[in-house]
Amino acid sequence: MMQHVLTQSSTPAGLFGWWRAAGERAHRTLVAAAFGWMLDAFDVMLFSLVLAALIADLGLTKPQAGLLGSITLIGGAAGGLVFGVIADRRGRTRALMGSVLLYSIFTGLCGLAQNMWQLAIFRVLLGFGMGGEWASGAALVSETWPADTRGKALGFMQSSWAIGNGAAALVTALVLPAWGWRAVFFVGVLPALFTLWVRRNVEEPDMWRQSTTTARFADIFRGRLGAVTAAVTLMNACTLFGWWGLNAWVPAYLSLPATQGGIGLGAYAMSALVVAMQVGMWFGYVTFGFVSDAIGRKRTYIAYLLIASVLLPLYGLAKNPTVLLALGPFVAFFGTGYFSGFGALTAEIYPTSIRATAQGFTYNLGRIASAAAPFTVGSLAESRGFTAAFALTGAAFLFAAFAWVWIPETRGSELR
């Protein structure tokens, strides 16, 4: 019965026909995955938003602050690999709940850190939970939505990252000036409550429960999958390097004084510009899902990446707040929207028995490579300025576009 649901293509007309065509069970899985991803973004973004205050209070240098961002990504890579295997063997919802609990608890503990080393430990463990959420959520949505609307559903799931970032910016604007950066991290404990709803309302996909194949990790490299796995991982590493290199430093770039290479905006103005970028990011995520369902994953991906490779260096050249306000949403639209395609792409390449493992590997091995981004961009900003640093992130998107030479088109593929 589930296979019939996944393969039929009777989507009603209209902008939201794809939503009405799905059942309540599919709706709940999308809501669960979207909220998990949104709260993931909320907790992770808090660090970037209080980075300038952390630098001042704990006496950190830019390379040290960048290192904290990098080790979070290393923790995320490890968590993604482990939770991907857990999701394939123990269930998507169990992996989702475990990852949310981890990143919530250790975000709150970041508010108790007294020095860089304590903060580093909490950031690694936060990252471990953060890395596990995406693969289980993407597998949940992929396995409960039909092929012709899978891109749209995953686009809306991915778009919740922008909502989480925007919510983090609003919370920071309200909490940071009044109670300081520690209180901002304490707010990050709240997502733990979300796991109670998931436990009561979200079932495991029938496709996963009916799968009788026991796969091994090495299967993602066998036969034709080997070259594709390498190319997808390379592409994702480049996009994650570009994304984290930019977004880990945008709030600090806007907040730091001109003598340190920044724009010198106050907390409210900085938060306003960050929120404006999240609006562009949200539209980029959602638009990607609709466009890739219409014209294909490959063409849409390459177009977004090439445009991002041009816009990111321009953002580093802009010094006027009005120009940054106008340019920021477009930078976020093209420099982030492509992530909506990654869940659909990998779900359509790999079979059910190794889907979450493969998604966790290709996404999070890329995180290991991208872990160098916050430190590298911070160091380059220290020595050469933010203009050169953001130009480097643009180059990463250009390399990501080239990786698509070895990645096939998967639009319309039925899951197996």
For residue 56, what are its two tokens? Answer: 């001042």
pLDDT for the residue numbered 1:
33
For residue 112, what are its two tokens? Answer: 């108790």
Q: Does residue 108 lie within any of the structural domains?
A: yes
Domain with 80 in it: 23-406
Helical H runs in 50-91? Answer: 51-58, 62-90
Per-residue pLDDT reduced to its tens digit, 158-211: 888 878 888 888 888 889 988 988 998 898 888 888 888 887 788 888 777 877
Q: Do residues 397 and 305 lie in contact, with contact meaning Cβ atoms separated by under 8 Å? A: yes
Percent of the chain residues topping a pLDDT of 90: 22
**For the chain, what is the domain count?**
1
Average pLDDT of 130-151?
82
Q: What does pTM read for this prediction?
A: 0.77
> Strand, coil or helix: what is 399?
helix
pLDDT for the residue numbered 13:
52
Going by C-alpha positions, the residue among 227, 232, 206 that lies closest to residue 415 is 206
pLDDT for the residue numbered 283:
92
Residue with tokens 């294909």: 296
Q: Does residue 5 lie within any of the structural domains?
A: no
Look at residue 305 and tell me whether its pLDDT is greater than 90: yes
Look at residue 244 and tell me whether its pLDDT is greater than 90: no
Look at residue 17 and tell me whether its pLDDT is greater than 70: no
Q: Does residue 173 lie within any of the structural domains?
A: yes
Per-residue pLDDT reduced to its tens digit, 257-299: 888 888 888 878 888 898 899 889 889 988 998 899 889 999 9
Q: Does residue 17 lie within any of the structural domains?
A: no
pLDDT for the residue numbered 403:
94
Radius of gyration of the chain (CA): 20
CATH number for the domain spanning 81: value is 1.20.1250.20
pLDDT for the residue numbered 12:
54
Q: Does residue 131 lie within any of the structural domains?
A: yes
Please indicate whether residue 21 or residue 8 has the higher confidence score (pLDDT). 21
CA 368 – CA 373 distance, rounded (Å): 10
Average pLDDT of 395-416?
89
Per-residue pLDDT reduced to its tens digit, 333-375: 999 999 888 888 988 898 888 888 888 888 877 777 777 887 8
pLDDT band at residue 68 using 50, 70 and 90 as cut-offs: confident
Residue 122 CB-half CA count within 13 A = 22
Q: Does residue 416 lie within any of the structural domains?
A: no
pLDDT band at residue 5 using 50, 70 and 90 as cut-offs: very low
Per-residue pLDDT reduced to its tens digit, 380-389: 988 888 889 9
Query: What value does the mean pLDDT of the chain take?
Result: 84
Residue 305 backbone phi and psi in degrees, to 5? -65, -40
Look at residue 14 and tell me whether its pLDDT is greater than 70: no
Q: Do residues 207 and 26 lie in contact, with contact meaning Cβ atoms separated by under 8 Å? A: no
What percent of the residues of the chain are helix, what percent strand, and what percent coil, each to the nearest 5? 80, 0, 20
Please indicate whether residue 44 or residue 112 has the higher confidence score (pLDDT). 112
Q: Measure CA 195 to chain center.
A: 19
